[in-house]
Each structure stands twice: as structure tokens, then as C-alpha cells.
Amino acid sequence: MTAPVPPVQALIVVDVQSAFVTGPDAVPDAPRLLDRTTDLIARARTGRSLIVHLQNDGPTGAPDEPKTPGWELHLPVHEGHREVVIRKTEDDGFHETPLGDLLAERGVRALAVCGVMSEMCVSATARTALELDYRVVMPHDAHATYDIPAAAGISDPVPAPMVSRVAEWALGDEIEIIAQAADVTFTPPPGAALDTPADTAGPANAAASNRAAAGRIPPESGRTTAAAATPSESARTEQNGARSAAGSPGGAPVAISKARTEHIHRPVGRGTSFPERRLAQGSPGDPGSR
């Protein structure tokens, strides 16, 4: 009998924005991704875990340019003490954002990551979480990306499922890759407070409280500085070695990745949405007319 996957205390939903999951330029597996992500969010809410929706601010003219229809988060957000939105401009959700401080303040030690794109923002965010010594679970059926177009003299087209699988493999042997999102379970983080007025006083108050306490950054207020957003050394010290508290009692999760003895670190794209990259590579069917 397969051992159950130990619960996580936070869910990081990466860039599930309308540009990437709706319309002709959606990732190929958008229906499956939305189904699994919707289920993960619902169960994380029931489990009183922290939910962080990352929202990418693309450059001018990009599908995820701020305040355009494609930039909007596609799934409903219940903003409050336990569910927050954090905007970013880089692949890595920790880069110059309040994410690290938020996880440290809530006492999170184990988290799950889902969303798009597998080899870009999902991978970059998961990689930094691993480097900060979090236990990271990535359900294979809850992240997605695009096909890689053919490149003359290099390769034929690479199907999106293969790209996603390679992205998992490249994260090394500490990441917990599980086959099904349904096997992820949730528990409250030890630093979670009881319900606050932001949870019960209506959407307007919840949004205001969340922006003040958890770092949602409206465009008119600018972005936080790296010094303000990066976790302190003391917070990182507390995180180091603490993963055993949220480890894997009772056996390892069902993994579809082979154990590795090394990490493979490769550069990840910075601040460029995948449809733009497809256009730059000149693949057929790219949204060049937009």
C-alpha cells in the first residue's frame, strides 16, 4: 500500500492568469490545469492552509501586461488572512516580493506549488523554496506549459508534457513530485492566527487588510525594495534544518521522479511571458497578430 503524502501548510498558485489558461493562446492542458488547481485551492481553504496567488506583471504589450484582461487572475480569490495575492515581475516568486517574509511569519515549513509555466515561473519559485530549505511538493498534473517549437539543427518540436516532466527532473532529488494533485493534503501552518476581521468583514476590508499585512502591491504604490522583501538572515536560519518538522513520516510519497544525487541548476527566463518567447523563436501559429 502506498504511504500517504504528508500534509503541506501552504499552497503557491503561480501565474494562473487569463492569458495563459483561456482563448487560443492557452497552454495545451489548460482544462486539466484549472480543474486540478481549483480542487487544490478548495481543499487548502478547508484545511486552513495559507494560499498565495502569484500574479505576474508582464512588460508593455505582453499578454500579462498589468490591467489588461489577460493579466487578471482567472480563478476567484478569497482575500483575507489566509489567502493573499502577491505580484511579481520576475520568474521567481520570491524575488523582491514579500513571499519569503510571509511564509516565515506564518511558520510554513512545507508547501505545494502549482500553475504555469512549468519550466519558468513554477520551476524558479520551487527552486528558491528548496534553497530556503522548505519541503516542496509539486503535483505532476497541476502545472503546465507550452510546446517548444522546432529549432533548425537542434530539435524537433518538444511536446508540452515532456517539457513539464523535464522541468520537474531538473529540480533535483529534494523536490517531491507526486502523480496526482488529489494526493496533496493540507494543514494549518503553526503560525496561523485565528480568523481575523479580514476574514469576516467583507471583501473590501479583507483586501485592505491583506495589502497591509501580506504585501499585495497595487500598481499605484510601486514595488517593495529588495531589502524590505527578502527574508532576514535570522528567518532563514530558523528555516534551515526545520524541514524535518514537516517531513515524511510513515514513508515517502509516491514519486514519479527517480532519486538523484545532484541538483541541476540552469538559468531560467526573467520577466518574459512564454507566448512572447514563442514569437521570438518564430514558431508557426504564434500570436504575432496581437
Picking from 196, 222, 224, 221, the residue whose alpha carbon sits closest to that of residue 210 is: 196
Please, which contacts does 248-251 make with residues 24 or more away whose CB atoms are closer than 8 Å? 248/3, 248/6, 248/176, 249/6, 250/3, 250/4, 250/6, 251/3
Query: How close are the terminal C-alpha atoms of the chain, in Å?
Result: 51
Buried b (16+ CB within 10 A) or exposed e, 21-34: beeebbbebbeebb
114 is catalytic: no
Residue from 187, 208, 239, 166 nearest 5 by CA: 187
Q: Which of 34, 116, 121, 148 is catalytic?
A: 121
Q: Which residues are catalytically annotated?
A: 121
